[in-house]
Homo-oligomer: A and B are copies of this chain.
Amino acid sequence: MKEIKIGLIGAGVIGSGVIALLKKNRELIKKRSGCLLTLKSICDLQIKKKNWLTDSEFKLTTDYRQILNDPEIEIVIELIGGTTAALDVILGALKAQKHIVTANKAALSMYYSRIFKTACEHKREVYFEGAIGGGIPIIKVLREGLVGNSIKSIHCIINGTCNFILSKMNKLGMSFSDALADAQRLGFAEANPDLDINGYDAAHKTALLAMLAFNTDIDIRKVYTEGINSLQAIDLAHARELGYTVKLLGIAKNHGSKMEVRVNPCLIPEHSSLGSVENEYNAVLINSDFLGTSLYYGKGAGSYPTASAIASDLTDIAKDIRLKEFNKYKYMPFNAKDLMTAGESAAKYYIRINTIERPGIFSSITAVFARYKISLEKVIQKDFDNLKNIPIMFVTRTCSEKSMTGALGEISRFPFVKGKPVFLRIEEL
């Protein structure tokens, strides 16, 4: 039985999960797969402070080049995160003829072509199951399980921090800032939560899923991305009354020669499969030509779930090493697809317009919608105490985003309209 020596770079939260998994289940993996995964070296800048790591078990270092220069090590696990040092480690390891396992969605989505070009040049593998959806084996499902399917669309709840915050806002009526504070207190949001709440982390992951699903390249900077930080409790309350819940969705749709890839908060049916995904959980809903609708659900982050994904990657690489033949196909995008702009996309919309009581408001507003050929499915106005701030809600039928923003631009200039109209997309799923 071949023993495979591994170097781990970055022994933080996820790294310690990998160490724990290989300690507890290494024998199980050996019996199941016939490969013996041995963690030989660990590199971390703070290695001296991690006194639960001992020299007798592992070779410890603060210099990652020691791992890259070790000819015995065949696989490097990169878990330092970020896009600078991590990129050096990934490219350096590939050039040193080592396979890479990483959970770094930021570096991958930003430098996809460069990383996989280097991998192909050096005939080494890059696996990243832990980068998307934590331990949910979604990369394996897309690449292998659904290999025979043309993918029509992906809808995903892929950022646990946002989903945790939105769960509190949806269920308890909390404000965004209170829910964020709660998430931070409980460890579900970082001290600096910007990358999560602005939607960038979800955009990285959604872009990677879309690249795999549609076998195409995507410029992450062009992916329309909207976070959850400007959501207001009042809109979530209205959504609930209409039978919806608000989720931050990653969306990737195949429109033939064009594709739509975007991340934004959406109203989705409360009792749909994605609507019932709560708290820190993630889920990916895939619609494909042969399998139809399928869904994959689990913990989208954290030490142990991500370690589960990394163990799967290690076992796959062990098989690739035995195969001795590098499969360049899985890295080569062979479809050229343009990204749709935000304006080109079409959806149903929830709209809230704050108004001052005055006769003729409805006819003025609806005349604008009519001129932009926007059909309305629902109109809701409630009895409000404050006649100087009456919210009117509309649910449109499917229309282009360009028409909708055009109409709202005009409507916002009416003297009886207070502030900027709010709109949120609706995905019926």
Residues of chain A having any CB pair with chain B under 8 Å:
17, 21, 24-25, 28-29, 31-34, 129, 134-137, 140-141, 143-150, 215, 271, 273, 276, 288-299, 304-305, 307-312, 314-316, 319, 322-323, 325, 327-330, 332, 334
8 A–B contacts, CB within 8 A, in A order: A21-B148, A28-B150, A33-B330, A144-B316, A147-B315, A148-B310, A290-B304, A297-B297
State whether B150 touches A146 (Cβ < 8 A): no
- A24 CB → nearest B CB, Å: 7
Q: Of B288, B297, B325, which one neighbours A322 at CB under 8 angstroms? A: B325
Q: Which residues of B contact A325 (CB under 8 A)?
A: 322
C-alpha spacing A349/B65, complex, angstroms: 60
State whether B34 touches A308 (Cβ < 8 A): no
Nearest opposing residue in chain B for A134, CB measure: B291
State whether A298 touches B295 (Cβ < 8 A): yes
- A139 CB → nearest B CB, Å: 9
Most chain B beta-carbon contacts within 10 A, residue among A24, A294, A314: A294
Nearest opposing residue in chain B for A276, CB measure: B276
State whether B137 touches A311 (Cβ < 8 A): no
- A248 CB → nearest B CB, Å: 20
State whether B31 touches A334 (Cβ < 8 A): yes
Nearest opposing residue in chain B for A147, CB measure: B315
Q: Which residues of B contact A273 (CB under 8 A)?
A: 276, 297
Nearest opposing residue in chain B for A140, CB measure: B145
State whether A308 touches B288 (Cβ < 8 A): yes
Nearest opposing residue in chain B for A138, CB measure: B145
Q: Which residues of B contact A146 (CB under 8 A)?
A: 137, 308, 312
Nearest opposing residue in chain B for A305, CB measure: B291
Q: Of B17, B293, B307, B319, which one neighbours A323 at CB under 8 angstroms? A: B319
Contact A215/B311 with A146-B137, A276-B276, A292-B304 known, Cβ cut-off 8 Å:
no
Q: Which residues of B contact A31 (CB under 8 A)?
A: 215, 329, 332, 334
State whether A329 touches B144 (Cβ < 8 A): no
State whether B33 touches A147 (Cβ < 8 A): yes
Q: Which residues of B contact A24 (CB under 8 A)?
A: 150, 289
Contact A21/B315 with A32-B147, A145-B140, A322-B323 known, Cβ cut-off 8 Å:
no
C-alpha spacing A135/B137, complex, angstroms: 15
Q: Which residues of B contact A28 (CB under 8 A)?
A: 148, 150
Contact A290/B135 with A31-B329, A323-B322 known, Cβ cut-off 8 Å:
yes
State whether A34 touches B289 (Cβ < 8 A): no
- A392 CB → nearest B CB, Å: 32
C-alpha spacing A46/B131, complex, angstroms: 49
Q: Which residues of B contact A322 (CB under 8 A)?
A: 323, 325
- A153 CB → nearest B CB, Å: 15
C-alpha spacing A29/B315, complex, angstroms: 23
- A130 CB → nearest B CB, Å: 11
